[in-house]
Structure formats: structure tokens, C-alpha cells
Amino acid sequence: MFSVLGVVLTVLESRPGLRRYLPSPTGIGMGILVPFSVVVGMCVSGTVGLVWERRWKASADVYLLPLASGLIAGEALVAVFAAIFLWLVGG
């Protein structure tokens, strides 16, 4: 059923007049495949980034992308260290 929805949204997305009213098929696919906690984090951080960009455009242009990249890399490093720690303590 979800693959049919993805095909329909992709076909409808090719029409310029409808594109702005349709959700992203890629976003829906990620929402289905990725755990809820990750999707909520993406939604909250995307909303914060949008508000920051609209209110303080100059600082967002300079700091938003490096900050987001650092947070993503930091989360990955913490996940690696947590896995190593759990392996060492036998959990």
C-alpha cells in the first residue's frame, strides 16, 4: 500500500501546480522506515532551523549548517561510544 502511495505522490509531484500542496514522498518514506524518536528530532530541529532562518537570516547563513553538521556528527560519535561501553560492561 505504501509503495502505491509513493508512486502516486511522485507522479502528482511532477505537476508544477500541485507540487507545493503535496508532502515529500522521500519524507514520508523516511518517516515510515526511521524510528519515531529520530523523526521527532528531525521535525523539531527543522522547525527550529526554519524559525532561526526567518528571524535572524544573517546568523543562520553563517552558523546553521555547521551547527547541524556538528550535532549530527556528535550524535553518531555518542552512539559509537555507547555501543563500545555496552560491549565492555557486558550489557
Q: For the segment 15-68, what is each residue's pLDDT rounded down to a tens digit? A: 888 877 888 777 777 778 888 888 888 888 889 999 999 999 999 999 999 999
Range of the domain at 67: 35-91
pTM of the model: 0.59
Tell me, yes or no, whether 65 and 91 share the same domain.
yes
Residue corresponding to grid cell 522547525: 47
Tell me, yes or no, whether 52 and 70 share the same domain.
yes
Over range 65-76, report the average pLDDT: 91
Over range 76-87, report the average pLDDT: 94
CA neighbours within 13 Å on the CB side: how many for 31? 10
Looking at per-residue pLDDT, the higher value among 75 and 20 belongs to 75
Tell me, yes or no, whether 73 and 40 share the same domain.
yes
As for how many domains the chain has, the answer is: 2
And the C-alpha cell for 21? 500542496
Model pLDDT, residue 23: 81
Tell me, yes or no, whether 48 and 84 share the same domain.
yes
CA neighbours within 13 Å on the CB side: how many for 66? 5
